[in-house]
């Protein structure tokens, strides 16, 4: 099939997620290697966002692909009711990297399914219904996971396709503090608010958090925030679910973001970098406390592809690759460099309101006016399909061969962890030039 025929056929037949269908016009990608991918015309693109913050190991990793091929040749599939050697191998590997005490694993096909399982475990295990979530969160696209998501993707389907029982708390978002306070004199009010919220709401089974909010802005909490949330949830006998779908697997410089804050949740969910995105695998890791609540009861979760051998094998290989390449330490080093460079870029562009990040996970937030922090666009603009300034910046970057994920009013800079310093510099130079597009729309004027 000719490339244009293939692209046109995909465009006319596929239903594209989170898109206005009539406007979707995808690029045809045919090859990828390292931190780069190529279109059908042979044009090269540097991946500055690991696609959807997923391709942590980059592309073409032989150890991971060899593991997948070997598994396909020996045991491509078996019902999840059977034990397999590869399941045992992955369980052993996970035991050495997940937070201590999370000794039980449910394998699904995505981060969404991992969160669905965690929510079901929490509600059934505690006998309570409500979930505390946060207002800028995203936890997945299926009913329960979307119902605990705070962003626009939940609001466009409510109330007909959501599950009742969520109460929303504010995020730890210092640039736009919902209380109008400043750290550290604020006393971390965003965490303390959760104490009263749980008390007043009643019937709370769990609180679900992205330790660092992902798609909705890479919101890095202050050091006291997560430990205080853990203390509050424990005091109320509320389970804590850490959604590490984006933040796991070296992305923030540790195996998991909770490790950076010394916090152990009751349930941890992850996906994406678990296999380096070489296969669709989700994980729900549970504590002994969680499992004890179900020991003599029927656990109503499971599906045909649960523990699928072809998804488990690349995960075992990926964990070894993270170790052999020392990618956690590299993420910390490169993350410090990335944040320093982004702050230098911020100083040159009046349209950049804030930059923030942890490890190789950063955001560049664009504003129309730095004094008022007015954003260029809103979530309503995104849903309505109105032109977004941040997407114009991303298009300018693509024109120079650099892909960067854009969402409402910020760019997510989260390249594969294997990216070289030279590649990172090139991507940032292109970003620096492309921000002129936003500067031209800014309300501020030089001088």
Per residue, the 3-state secondary structure of 74-130, as one string, reads HCCCCCCCCCCHHHHHHHHHHHCCCCCCEEEEEEECCHHHHHHHHHHHHHHHHCCCE
Query: What are 356-392's pLDDT values in tens digits?
Result: 999 999 999 999 999 999 999 999 999 899 999 999 9
Bridge partner residues of 33 (DSSP): 36
Q: Are the beta carbons of 55 and 416 closer than 8 angstroms?
A: yes
Domain CATH number, residue 99? 3.40.640.10
- Please give the tally of structural domains in the chain: 2
Do 345 and 219 reside in the same domain of the chain? no
pLDDT at residue number 159: 72
Q: pLDDT tens-digit profile of 198-211? A: 999 999 999 999 99
Provide the percentage of residues in the chain whose pLDDT is more than 70. Answer: 98
Lowest mean pLDDT segment, chosen from 142-156, 247-261, 416-430: 142-156
Asked if the structure places residue 446 within a domain, the reply is no
Does 286 reside within a domain?
yes
Q: Is the pLDDT of residue 224 over 80?
A: yes
Measure the CA–CA gap between 76 and 308, rounded to whole angstroms: 8
Q: Are residues 280 and 415 in the same domain?
A: no
Residue 447 lies in a domain: no
Does 350 fall in a domain? Answer: yes
**Of the listed ranges 72-86, 136-150, 247-261, 310-324, the one predicted with least confidence:** 136-150
The confidence band for 157, taking pLDDT boundaries of 50, 70 and 90, is confident
Q: Is residue 339 part of a domain?
A: yes
Residue-wise pLDDT for 125-154, tens only, equals 999 999 999 999 999 999 899 999 998 888
* Helix or strand holding residue 166 (H, E): strand 166-169
What pLDDT is recorded for position 155? Answer: 80
pLDDT of residue 309: 98
Position 447 pLDDT exceeds 70: no
DSSP code per residue over 306-373: TT-HHHHHHHHHHHHHHHHTTHHHHHHHHHHHHHHHHHHHHHH-TTEEEEEESSS-EEEEEEEETTTT
- Owning domain of residue 103: 62-324
Summarised one tens digit per residue, pLDDT across range 85-108 is 999 999 999 999 999 999 999 999
Say if residue 332 is in the same domain as residue 420: yes
pLDDT band at 58 (very low <50, low <70, confident <90, very high): very high
- Given 324, 355, 375, the domain boundary residue is 324
What is the CATH classification number for the domain harbouring 333?
A: 3.90.1150.10
444 pLDDT above the threshold of 70: no
Same domain, yes or no, for 299 and 275? yes
Domain check: are 319 and 387 in the same one?
no
Residue 106 is predicted with a pLDDT of 98
Based on DSSP, count helices (H) and strands (E) in the chain, helices before strands: 17, 16
50 and 77 in one domain? no
Give the β-pairing of 204-209 and 130-134.
parallel
Mean pLDDT of 24-45: 97
The rounded distance, in Å, linking the Cα atoms of 193 and 189 is 6
Predicted local confidence at residue 152, as pLDDT: 84
Q: How far apart are CA 87 and CA 84, in angstroms?
A: 5
Residue that finishes a domain, picked among 276, 293, 324: 324
- Extract the tokens encoding 45: 């693109």
């Amino acid at each position: 099939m000719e490339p244009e025929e293939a692209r046109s056929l995909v465009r006319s037949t596929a239903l594209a997620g989170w898109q206005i269908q009539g406007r979707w016009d995808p690029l045809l990608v045919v090859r990828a290697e390292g931190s780069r991918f190529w279109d059908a015309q042979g044009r090269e693109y540097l991946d500055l966002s690991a696609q959807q913050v997923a391709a942590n190991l980059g592309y073409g990793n032989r150890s991971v692909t060899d593991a997948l091929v070997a598994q396909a040749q020996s045991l491509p599939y078996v019902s999840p009711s059977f034990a397999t050697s590869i399941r045992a191998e992955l369980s052993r590997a996970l035991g050495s990297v997940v937070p201590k005490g999370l000794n039980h694993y449910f394998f699904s096909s995505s981060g969404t399914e991992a969160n669905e399982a965690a929510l079901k475990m929490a509600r059934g295990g505690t006998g309570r219904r409500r979930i505390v979530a946060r207002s800028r969160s995203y936890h997945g696209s299926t009913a329960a996971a979307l119902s605990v998501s705070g962003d626009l993707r939940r609001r466009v389907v409510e109330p007909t396709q959501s599950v009742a029982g969520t109460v929303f708390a504010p995020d730890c978002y210092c640039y736009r503090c919902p209380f109008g306070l400043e750290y550290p004199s604020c006393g971390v009010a965003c965490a303390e608010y959760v104490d009263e919220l749980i008390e007043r709401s009643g019937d709370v089974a769990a609180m679900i958090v992205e330790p660092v909010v992902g798609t909705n802005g890479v919101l890095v909490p202050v050091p006291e925030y997560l430990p205080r949330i853990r203390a509050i949830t424990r005091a109320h006998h509320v389970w804590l679910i850490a959604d590490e779908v984006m933040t796991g697997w070296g992305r923030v410089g540790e195996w998991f973001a909770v490790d950076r804050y010394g916090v152990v949740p009751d349930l941890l969910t992850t996906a994406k970098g678990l296999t380096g995105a070489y296969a669709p695998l989700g994980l729900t890791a549970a504590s002994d406390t969680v499992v004890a609540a179900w020991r003599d009861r029927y656990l109503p979760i499971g599906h045909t592809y649960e523990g699928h051998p072809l998804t488990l094998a690349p995960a075992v290989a990926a964990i070894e690759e993270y170790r052999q390449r020392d990618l956690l330490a590299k993420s910390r080093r490169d993350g410090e460099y990335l944040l320093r460079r982004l702050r230098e870029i911020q100083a040159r562009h009046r349209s950049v309101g804030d930059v923030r990040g942890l490890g190789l996970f950063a955001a560049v937030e664009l504003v129309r006016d730095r004094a008022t922090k007015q954003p260029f666009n809103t979530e309503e603009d995104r849903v309505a399909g109105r032109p977004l300034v941040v997407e114009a910046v991303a298009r300018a970057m693509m024109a120079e061969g650099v892909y960067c994920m854009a969402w409402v009013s910020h760019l997510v800079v989260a390249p594969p962890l294997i990216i070289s310093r030279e590649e990172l510099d090139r991507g940032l130079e292109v970003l620096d030039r492309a921000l002129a597009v936003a500067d031209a729309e800014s309300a501020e004027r030089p001088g």
